[in-house]
Amino acid sequence: MPVIRHPEELPEQREPGWSRQVWAGAAAFGTPVPMEAARYRLAAGASADVPLGRQEALAFVIGGSGSARQGTEEFPLAAESLLWLAGCDGVTLMAGDGGLDVRAAESTGGEPVAAVCKAFAVAGLPHLTSTRDTRDRLDLVTESVPVSASRIRADRILYHPGDTAAAHYHTDCHHVFCVLAGSGLLYSGSQALRLEAGMSALVGPGEDHWFENDRQQEFSFVEFWAPPPADTVWTVAGDRCTWAPAG
């Protein structure tokens, strides 16, 4: 059964100029999950130190702009840009004039990995469209993004009104969803669970699931797989999700 968390149920830390809210992980879901994710919101001109555990990690910019400092390197941050932070023990986020909204995530439980820090502007990330409906996908950490990730995968999905995914399950991974905007239904078995902006959800290995945007506004989320699925099983004959390059 999926685990659903509302914003008021998620641990939050508030500091002058910034806040951190845990969106995924054992502390959020109350069950072991081999990853963690948190939302960092910074006011204009503020900075925040993000601790990391030298695992595979990423920071994805939801809104605003600014920069990030890791060691002696500094990287620009803009909407839908990605910072890959494998093997790092932390990064400092610095907000520009319009503030900064970032989702940071990392794998957990493994040995430290080699240090690699890479920045990707949104134009440098694979942008795909569904061949099944009108969904929009931005790859963040996949086999198409050159970061050699083996413990975590991530993308950003946007469902337009009426879009649905094909029913499926993953045999060997935890699937985590962090809702950015709008409202949609998460189906699992005979259940239809309402997800809205600010909520997060966990679907465990072997649990069938799919989404529907039954509203007139766009519905979007960042999804994570930990570890990356070795196999995805589509449960309705002849119905599966496939993707093509956008544009």
How do beta strands 90-107 and 219-226 pair?
unpaired
Span 6-41, pLDDT tens digits: 999 999 999 999 999 999 999 999 999 999 999 999
CB 40 within 8 A of CB 102: yes
- Domain end residue (candidates: 74, 92, 123): 123
Name the domain count of the chain. 2
Same domain, residue pair 131 and 103? no
Same domain, residue pair 65 and 103? yes
Q: Where are the beta strands (DSSP E) in 88-204?
A: 90-107, 116-120, 127-130, 136-141, 153-159, 168-170, 174-181, 183-188, 191-196, 200-203
The boundaries of the domain holding residue 135 are 127-245
Q: Is 79 within a domain?
A: yes
The percent of residues above 90 in pLDDT, for the chain, comes to 98
Q: Is 1 within a domain?
A: no
- Domain end residue (candidates: 85, 101, 123): 123
Q: Is 2 within a domain?
A: no
Average pLDDT score over residue span 48-77: 97
Same domain, residue pair 131 and 96? no
pLDDT for the residue numbered 89: 97
Same domain, residue pair 85 and 153? no
Same domain, residue pair 102 and 116? yes
Please choose, from the candidates 168, 131, 126, the residue with its C-alpha nearest in 3D space to the C-alpha of residue 147: 126
Measured between alpha carbons, how far is 66 from 60 in angstroms, rounded to an integer? 12
CATH code (residue 97): 2.60.120.10
Span 168-193, pLDDT tens digits: 999 999 999 999 999 999 999 889 99
Whole-model pTM: value is 0.96
Same domain, residue pair 26 and 94? yes
Confidence of residue 95 (pLDDT cuts 50, 70, 90): very high
Same domain, residue pair 67 and 133? no
Amino acid at 193: L
Span 98-143, pLDDT tens digits: 999 999 999 999 999 999 999 999 999 999 999 999 999 999 999 9
- Domain end residue (candidates: 80, 95, 123): 123
